[in-house]
Amino acid sequence: MLTRTPSVVAQVFLLLSIILVIAIAVIQINQQKILSPGLKYGIVLDAGSSRTTVYVYEWPAEKENNTGVVSQTFKCNVKGPGISSYENNPGALAKPLDDCLKKVKERIPVHLHKTTSVYLGATAGMRLLRLQNETAANEVLASIQHYFRAQPFEFRGAQIITGTEEGVYGWITANYLMGNFLERNLWRTWVHPYRKETMGALDLGGASTQISFIPEVSQENFNSTLQVKLYGYNYNVYTHSFQCYGRDEAEKRLLALLLQKSSTSSSVDNPCYPRNYNTALTVKYFCGSLCTQSLRPANYYPNQSVSFHGTGDPGLCQEMVSLLFNLTACKNQEDCPFDRVHQPKVKGNFVAFSGFYYTINALNLSDHFSLADFNTSMWYFCSQNWTQLQFMLPKFEETYARSYCFSANFIYYLLIHGYNFDEGNWAQIHFQKEVGNSSITWSLGYMLSLTNMIPAESKMIQLPLKPPLFAGLLILLTATALLCLLFLVYVCIVSRNRKDISRVEYVFTPE
């Protein structure tokens, strides 16, 4: 009876230990929670020729096919001109940057500041400055690097991106925002859209303009075709950047051309300026650029003042703008519209952003309209006098308002005679500023490309029991089960031995 009781207790403990080990293991496996590692942030400074814009992007730390699903969460325009304007005083860059960076710090959680990467990409304005004065360009970039060393973020460098990069990043942005790379299915997971065509991208900046699209047939003679890989798919994109064909630099070339053709050097008529508008500009303002070097007067006095009088003549404005395009350089080759650049035939839908959008908005046109409507609106706008114009524009700023007529004519010539759009495929161009809350600009495409190089974080697993406690319980219960098992084996052996002794004693007992 005494042996039987411990044996029963041991059997109960053994059974309970086995049941508990199985139960804890099942609960630990089935009740675990997979937690997202959260969000990551990136900051891109778009250092354009006329201004700098700061963009804050965020994306889930676990990526989709090696590319982050990125969205814009904040945008800040840095006060003042573009960074290339600080060539004579690079140290003055810090103050205007400070205002935006303070707001950025508030948008990103403090504990993520150290792991948030900052990239500065400078475009055509700095490309021109580097060609004109490489030392000054390097000093501007060095000043920016010095500034960001004192910031809490992880600064990954300030670089001057090429025109090709600017073009392809703009194409990536446009197609990403239009949902041409990824879309959510019925189960709310990201998938590649089935048979969805990509869009071409048209970008008009201050110093350069870019065209990017996937041609009908990929041809080797177009050396501006790049292979882009996003979300596991490859795209062969034709892209080209035209230096000095940005809105600001093109207008400077027009002013220099008007001065060259004028009978006087102090007072010049400008058919692209509104009637009754007058302004005085220094020769350096429009002839000091590398883009207008060939148009400088023989007697070049940088500080000489020239008075420009607006005549508001749409026909003459269009005629003068046509002189900015070298349409005969290619000798009427079909795949070479202007500037000795070979370009495949435009194909599919296009989105036109940046300077394209702002000009179309000034003409009071929507994102989609016919070529005839554009010409009518342009002619009407260019015929207005300066006083009338101030009441027509949704936002009036003198520097932009006086130039919208020129911009409209320049856009017409660039799209029709430069890129070979016509009345038929003009309707396929959509003029847009943003999609949702995200601006259409090369910086988002830049961020998307950079996320390919940022490693994804593994998901965190939350368990019902902490690993040390789980391990401790397993060891305790396993040890208990083993002890109980050993005890039962021992009891079994002892019991068998006693039976054997009892049998022997019975055999040798005298009768």
**DSSP assignment of 53-95, as one string?**
EEEEEEEESS-BTTB---EEEEEEEPSSS-GGGGTT-GGGGHH
- 23 burial (CB, 10 Å; 0-12 / 13-18 / 19+) is exposed
Q: What is the pLDDT confidence band of residue 412, given thresholds at 50, 70 and 90?
A: very high
Query: Which band of pLDDT confidence, cut at 50, 70 and 90, is reported for residue 81?
Result: very high
The SS3 assignment for 237 reads: strand
Percentage above 90 pLDDT, the chain: 57
Lowest mean pLDDT among 80-94, 193-207, 482-496: 482-496
**Is pLDDT above 80 for 511?**
no
pLDDT reading at 124 higher than 50? yes
Alpha helices in 115-273 (DSSP H): 124-132, 134-149, 163-177, 247-261
DSSP secondary structure code for residue 428 in this structure: G
Residue 28 tokens, joined: 């630990």
Helix (H, G, I), strand (E, B) or coil at 298: coil
Burial status of residue 120 (CB atoms within 10 A of its CB: 0-12, 13-18, 19 or more): buried
Does residue 120 have a pLDDT over 50? yes
pLDDT at 253: 97
Pick 74 or 454 by higher pLDDT.
Answer: 74
Which residues, other chains included, contact 282 with Cβ-Cβ below 8 Å and sequence gap of 6+? Answer: 302, 303, 304, 305, 306
pLDDT given at position 462: 55
What residue type is assigned to position 47 of the chain? A
Residue 110 pLDDT level (bands cut at 50, 70, 90): very high
Digit-coded pLDDT (tens) for 207-250: 999 999 999 875 555 567 888 887 778 889 999 999 999 999 99
Q: 47 pLDDT exceeds 80? A: yes
Alpha carbon 244 to its chain's center: 23
The residues carrying an active-site annotation are: 166
366-394 average pLDDT score:
92
Of 165-174, 215-224, 292-301, least confident by mean pLDDT is 215-224
Contact 70, 451 (CB under 8 A): yes
Residue 508 in this model has a pLDDT that exceeds 60: no
Task: Give the range among 3-7, 171-175, 299-303, 338-342 with minimum mean pLDDT.
Answer: 3-7
Q: Which of 163-167, 285-289, 334-338 bottoms out in mean pLDDT, i.e. has the lowest?
A: 334-338
Q: What is the mean pLDDT of residues 30-38?
A: 59
Confidence check: pLDDT of 2 > 50: no
CB crowding 64-80: b at 16 or more within 10 Å, else e: beebbbbbbebbbebeb
pLDDT at residue number 1: 46
pLDDT at 419 over 50: yes
The arithmetic mean of pLDDT across residues 399-418, rounded, is 95
Name the 3-class secondary structure at 297. Answer: coil
